Structure 1
Amino acid sequence: METKRTANCLVIRLDPGEELINSLLTACQEHDIHCAQITGIGAAKKITCGVFDPKTREYHSEKFKGIFEITSLNGTITTMDGGLYPHIHVTFADEKYKVRGGHLNKCVISATAEIVLMILDLEIDRQASQEVGLNLFRF
């Protein structure tokens, strides 16, 4: 992983074999980032993502292995219970151009990933919502 920072932006390049979420958390810790907006693209060989069922309040996850283009990576970094809280969604296409997506749980890079964090000069924490069943922004 390599990074380059300005006052309100961190650009991250991930290399083959790196796990995206762990690398992102490491970069945020190294640069003392607690709140940011995430965008990115790249290539992956293993992706675990899921969808939330609001009726059952459960995530349903699926693991994918193969050749994937990350066509869109979007999300936020906030905090919860004193730690960093990444909330990232992904859209990715396989070698036959079949597109899938959902809440990103894990992503191992195959070639590279280019991620941009817009650093927000805010403190946004999260709190579990009993009504919704998710950890929501707490302002």
Structure 2
Amino acid sequence: MRAHELHHQTGRVLVVVCDKGEEAVEAVGAALREHRIHAARVTAVGGFADAEVGWFDRETGDYRPIPVREQVEVLSLLGDVAERGGEPALHVHAVLGRADGSTVGGHLLRGRVWPTLEVMISEVAPELAKRVDPETGLALISGTGGG
């Protein structure tokens, strides 16, 4: 994994390039902790050798796993970073493309990178930071900072 921090007028941008065989959620989480990013938007493209996405079941308050046991392209990976227990928590959804052109998607639980995953993490203003909603356990935007 390689991570490069850029600075520009709207805030920091962290570019994380995951290598073959790395577990994507773990690698990105490690980069977030290393660079102390607690509120951000996340996008990525690349591929996985295999993965697991999930569908949030509101009855159980947990994700139902959907195994993806084949090589797929990461057609879209979007999400955010919120703070949970003082640590950055990655929350991303993925649309994964299969060889036949069909897709599968959901909350990314894990993905074994192949051949690469290029992740752009754009820090957001503190007033856009997400907070854990006690009712659902999900990280939601708590306010917009406006009056």
Q: What TM-score comes out, normalization by structure 1 length?
A: 0.89
The runs of at least 4 consecutive aligned structure 1 residues that moved more than 4 Å come to none
Superposed CA offset, 1:35-77 (max 9, x none): 1100010010121111113355442111112110000000001
User: What CA deviation, in whole Å up to 9, does each residue of 1:8-60 have, x standing for no partner?
Assistant: 21111111000111111111122121111000100101211111133554421
Q: Partners of 2:54 and 2:96 in 1: how far apart?
A: 13
Q: Give the Cα–Cα distance (whole angstroms) in 1 for the partners of residues 139 and 126 of structure 2.
A: 16
Q: Which runs of 5+ in 2 are unaligned?
A: none
Alpha-carbon separation, structure 1, partners of 2:89 and 2:124: 14
The Cα shift of 1:106 comes to 0.5
For residues 28-107 of structure 1, the aligned pairs below 5 Å read: 28-107=32-111
C-alpha RMSD of matched pairs (Å): 1.7
Structure 1: runs of 5 or more not aligned: none
| Amino acid of the structure 2 residue aligned with 1:135 | L
Once the two structures are superposed, what CA deviation does each residue of 1:90-114 show, in whole Å capped at 9, x if it has no partner? 0001111110100111111010011
Q: How far apart, CA to CA, are the structure 2 residues paired with 1:3 and 1:56?
A: 36
TM-score by length of 2: 0.84
Taking only the aligned residue pairs, the percentage that are identical comes to 26
Aligned AA for 1:50? G
Which amino acid in 1 is paired with 2:38?
Answer: H
Name the aligned partner's letter for residue 49 of structure 2: K
User: 2:5 is aligned with what amino acid?
Assistant: R
Q: Tell me how far apart the structure 1 counterparts of residues 62 and 37 of structure 2 sit (CA, whole Å).
A: 29
Contact 1:129–1:136 (8 Å) recurs in 2 = no
Distance in 2 (alpha carbons) for counterparts of 1:79 and 1:55: 24
